Structure 1
Amino acid sequence: MAGMGPHPAVADVRRAVRLALGDLRPGELVLAACSGGADSLALAAALGFEAPRAGLRAGLLTVDHGLQEGSADRAAEVVRLAPRLAIGLAEALTVSVGTSGGPEAAARQARYAALSRAAERLGAAAVLLGHTRDDQAETVLLRLARGSGTRSLAGMPARAGIYRRPLLGLGRATTVAACAALGLIPWDDPHNLDARYTRVRVRERLLPALEREIGPGVAEALARTADLCRDDADALDAWADAVYARAVQAAGDAQDCALSDIETGGPVVRVAVREIADLPAAVRRRVLRRAAVEAGAPSGTLSAAHILQVDRLVTEWRGQRRIEVTGGIGVVRRYGTLIFARQPASPVS
């Protein structure tokens, strides 16, 4: 019927994308990462509609992980679909997936590396990802099962560097309905039904069981929990950043000659114990974690258990020897100062 607007699901996805593009300048390039599934296909279609209306250029990237027979053909099909979505620039990126961290983590690492390289090469201002509220709920459950802290339970951010996730406020049912209304046929990745993958078991078994036993709305509640945790984590991180700056400055001002005998091939970070001793544990441990990372400890392998051990140098000081964390970095307490460094140091006698 003339004058009739788009299907409600199409309108919802377009609105979400429009809001995500609001701060970009006319002429900038925005890329949609599209696997051909319902979420990313609806996202790409919305970008193709909204970008020209905002004076932006739209592009599409699809990643061929090479993990399934015919994957190159499917990637080519997604590229060929771009003109129908009103997207002029489209590329298939071929990656080699390693084994580090398991198949899911390895594929994700390879995918993001390829997307980042392509975005830099093309001069893109943003890359849109099709994660929905259901993906956010799955992420929260997975991290909850691992005993993660507030920052991890915050789930996936709506923005992280060049990446943006416009659809975190929408359910997967909306993207499926949007594709149907637009006459787009999504590709159902067999991996999305493979129970060998933890996320698939969460999606296909755990979340439906929670919905049956607790009632509808579990995904929405979990996504809302992520939002609340992110607000808390942001506040605690800001507090910890301010304390860290003071504690490092105070340790430097002390100019204690007893601290000058540490020879190291890497950075040395000194933190004044008096500046952090009376802080809430959530803030103090954030300061300790940052100090360890600044000294060279790899953040990906720096666990809560490591930080808890370092924290005892503050809260349960009894002349302990050096605490080893990760990446060859250790921590020792000397005369009211925590020293994070690679070179072993003798404790106070």
Structure 2
Amino acid sequence: MEPFWPRKSSHFLACRRAVRPVHTNPDHPAAIGLSGGPDSLALVAAAAAEGKHVRAVVVDHGLQPGSADVAARAAEQAQRLDVPAEVVRVDVDTVAGTGRAIGLEAAARAARYSALFAAAGSDADVWVAHTADDQAETLLLGALRGNPAGMAPRSDRLVRPLLFLRRAETVGACQELGLETWDDPMNHDPAYRRVAIRQQIIPALTELLGGDAVVPLAATANRIAEDRQLLESLADLEPTADCAELAADPAPVRRRRIAAWLIKNGIPVQGDQLYAIDGLVTDWHGQGPITLTSGRTVTRDAGHLHLV
């Protein structure tokens, strides 16, 4: 297969270098989430060129007409690269197990990751093709919710080999390889916040700075992810609703445990609401329930937090 790879390929070489140090072997392979877009196709190609023990999993969300054809073409692209591929169809449920409605993006993401890990099995990692541009967008989205976040290059079995590469590298790599990429129309709809940030906010920040805003934003997100991983290694961040136990924790640990408790119960974390719930623990004077964006409320009773 090696002669297929172009000899002069600066973008593809950057993708290969990013994938090279990521470990895979026959006893611990990886399943790559493949959408057919340039990021995930470049990741599959780079893994193949580096001889990684991988296979591609294409998740068909069934949200758009012709989605089955798009998924089939993505799988064919992977097979052209000598990477085994399978298509998994999922049902996107916008009602959580608690009966709470969730956004389409969040529901699709939950269904996708569930399918990827199920297809990978217990002995394989899952690789996804997030880039530095995705990292910058994630930081801003989290900050707008009062909960700035960063993605780690590796978290348990989830691996992001391209996290320090720019999106232009993956697009260029696919062009160098002559791969047919799919341009998801949802990636151009500003009704989705991530798209609006990509199309409007980051370009405005770049103009304001007089330089590429993605670079400092992604660097900040990387530091947040590193700090979070360090804190997780040093402290007990298990979810709990026990107010006495929470009150004994330092503030950063306490808030993360409250956030973990919310997430465990299917509630998205919003910064202002998190601080208000924190007040039920540290400044309790009989105040009323905290209303969450989901419509549910958090109360304190008998020394414990309760979701109603």
Residue deviations 1:316-347, cap 9 Å, x none? 465x47977888875457xxxxx32659xxxx
Alignment correspondent of 1:41? 41
Q: Which has the higher contact order (CA 8 A, sep 6+)?
A: 2
2:36 aligned with 1:67: no
2:75 is the counterpart of 1:79: yes
Query: 2:61 and 2:245 mapped to 1: Cα distance?
Result: 48
- The Cα shift of 1:200 comes to 1.1
Distance (whole Å) between structure 1 residues aligned to residue 18 and residue 219 of structure 2: 17
What residue identity is the alignment partner of 2:110? Q
Q: How many angstroms does 1:81 deviate by?
A: 2.0
Name the amino acid aligned to 2:221: A
**Are the structure 2 counterparts of residues 312 and 195 from structure 1 closer, same or farther at C-alpha, using a change threshold of 3 Å?**
closer
How many angstroms apart in 1 are the aligned matches of 2:241 and 2:75? 50
| Equivalences, count | 295
1:212 and 2:212 correspond: no
User: CA 1:299–1:171 in structure 2 vs 1: closer, same or farther (change >3 Å)?
Assistant: same
Q: 1:125 matched to which residue of 2?
A: 124
Contact 1:31 1:124 in 2 (8 A): no
Helix, strand or coil at the partner of 2:32: strand
1:340 maps to 2:304: yes
TM-score normalised to structure 2 length: 0.81
Q: Distance in 2 between matches of 1:147 and 1:86?
A: 44
TM-score (structure 1 length as normaliser): 0.72
Closer, same or farther: CA 141–18 of 1 in aligned 2, 3 Å: same
The answer to which structure has the higher helix fraction is 1
Equivalents in 2 of 1:107, 1:78: separation in Å?
A: 18
Cα distance change of structure 1 residues 117 and 272 upon mapping to structure 2, 3 Å threshold: closer
SS in 2 for 1:61: strand
2:133·2:214 contact (CA, 8 Å) conserved in 1?
Answer: yes
2:267 to 293, 300, 311: 300
Q: Is the 8 A contact 1:131 1:165 kept in 2?
A: yes
Distance 1:308 1:145, change over 3 A: closer
CA contact (8 A) 2:62 2:91 kept: yes
Q: CA deviation at 1:29?
A: 2.5
- 1:198 aligns with 193
Deviates more, 1:154-163 or 1:62-71: 154-163
Q: Unmatched 5+ residue regions in structure 1? A: 245-266, 334-338, 344-349
Is residue 297–residue 329 contact of structure 1 (8 Å, CA) maintained in 2?
no
The answer to whether structure 1 residue 163 and structure 2 residue 163 are counterparts is no
- 2:252 is aligned to 282
Identity of aligned residues (%): 39
* Alpha-carbon displacement from aligned partner over 1:204-226 (angstroms, at most 9, x marks no partner): 12212221222222101101001
SS of residue in 2 equivalent to 1:106: helix
1:48 positional shift: 1.4
Tell whether 2:93 aligns with 1:98: yes
**What is the deviation of 1:275?**
4.2
- Deviation digits for residues 234-260 of structure 1, max 9, x if unmatched? 444555529x9xxxxxxxxxxxxxxxx
Q: Is the 8 A contact 1:321 1:332 kept in 2?
A: no
Q: CA 1:17/1:98 → structure 2, altered by over 3 Å: closer, same or farther?
A: same
Alpha-carbon distance, 1:30 to partner: 1.6
> Could you tell me which amino acid in structure 1 is paired with residue 13 of structure 2?
A
Which one-letter code corresponds to 1:340 in the other structure? H
Bigger Rg over Cα: 1
Runs (4+) of structure 1 exceeding 6 A deviation are 321-329
Distance in 2 of aligned mates of 1:19 and 1:202: 31
Is the counterpart of residue 154 in structure 1 residue 149 in structure 2? yes
Is 1:237–1:286's contact at 8 Å kept on the other side of the alignment?
A: no
Q: Following the alignment from structure 2 to structure 1, what is the Cα–Cα distance between the partners of residues 70 and 49?
A: 23
Q: CA RMSD in A?
A: 3.4
Q: Which runs of 5+ in 2 are unaligned?
A: 95-100
Looking at structure 1, the residues matched to 279 and 225 of structure 2 have their Cα atoms a distance apart, in angstroms, of 27
Q: Aligned AA for 1:31?
A: A
